[in-house]
Structure 1
Amino acid sequence: MFTIHDSKILAYQVDFENLHIEIKAVDEKGNKAKLLFEDFFAYHFEDQLPDSVLFDIIEGDINDFAEDHKELLEKSKDYGWPMDYRNAKVLTDHIKKNGYTYYIVEASYGLNGWILAKRMRTEEYSS
């Protein structure tokens, strides 16, 4: 059975047409899985490096989202990202109203960030 902790990211793909993010990973026992984020609204990744290692993916509190990413949101607001909005309350209300979950991607090494999506599921696979 696949475990996220200490799994190595093999690849990730963002499908803008279908609003789908897929992260392929392999855990310490060699189990492979696709971490699937469906119906995403926005995401932000940092430190994308080969051999990135996940620590965990946790659900954050939507009420903390705008404060957690205040600097990034302020810098990108004038460019309509992640949407056109007047203030943090409008953005937070939109996220809540549309049923998005705030997934925090924590790394031991490399790729980390967050995803706002309606669902996350894990699908094991073999090469």
Structure 2
Amino acid sequence: MDTIHDSKILNYQIDFESSKIEVKVVIEKKQVKILFEDFFAFHFEDQLPDSILLDIVEGDVNSFALDNKELLDKSKDYSWPMDYEYVEDMINYIKENSYKYYKVQASYGLNGWILAKRVLIE
């Protein structure tokens, strides 16, 4: 996703009804929209004004639970991101439903991840 490297985040919007996350960024005075479609779950940290995206990379779904162990352990009793007994059940659900693990990396500010079926850059 070279087109978004070092782009400034203007805003983001989460549409739960349509299962879409839209992130508007500006790079070289041009606005670009990053659209995550059919998302399952997301987690953002360090939301700051003038956040700068370094990259969005696709992570290995198998490493999702290990990468986010502390967060998942803390949220499991609240059925987030879903109700599951064993972490393998959640990973199987993610795989069976073709979700991809997108890591949002920042050089400054907002970072996190999104489990979604696809990402488009417009």
TM-score range normalised by the length of the shorter chain: over 0.9
Corresponding residue number in structure 2 for 1:36: 35
Distance in 2 separating the partners of 1:86 and 1:49: 35
1:92 aligns with 2:106: no
Letter in 1 for 2:10: L
Could you list the runs of 5+ residues in structure 1 that have no partner in the other structure? Answer: none
Q: Aligned residues: percent identity? A: 65
Q: Mapping of 1:1-127 within 5 angstroms?
A: 3-27=3-27, 29-123=28-122
Higher helix share: 2
CA RMSD in angstroms, aligned pairs only: 0.8
Q: CA deviation at 1:3?
A: 1.7
Equivalent-residue separation in structure 1 for 2:102 and 2:86 (angstroms): 22
- TM-score, with length taken from structure 1: 0.94
TM-score scaled by length of structure 2: 0.97
The CA distance in 1 between the partners of 2:86 and 2:12, in whole Å, is 31
Cα deviations across residues 53-103 of structure 1 (Å, max 9, x unaligned)?
000000000000000000000000000100000111001000000000000
Q: Which runs of 4+ in 1 moved over 6 A?
A: none
Number of aligned residue pairs = 121
Aligned partner of residue 78 in structure 1, secondary structure:
helix
Distance in 2 separating the partners of 1:110 and 1:90: 32
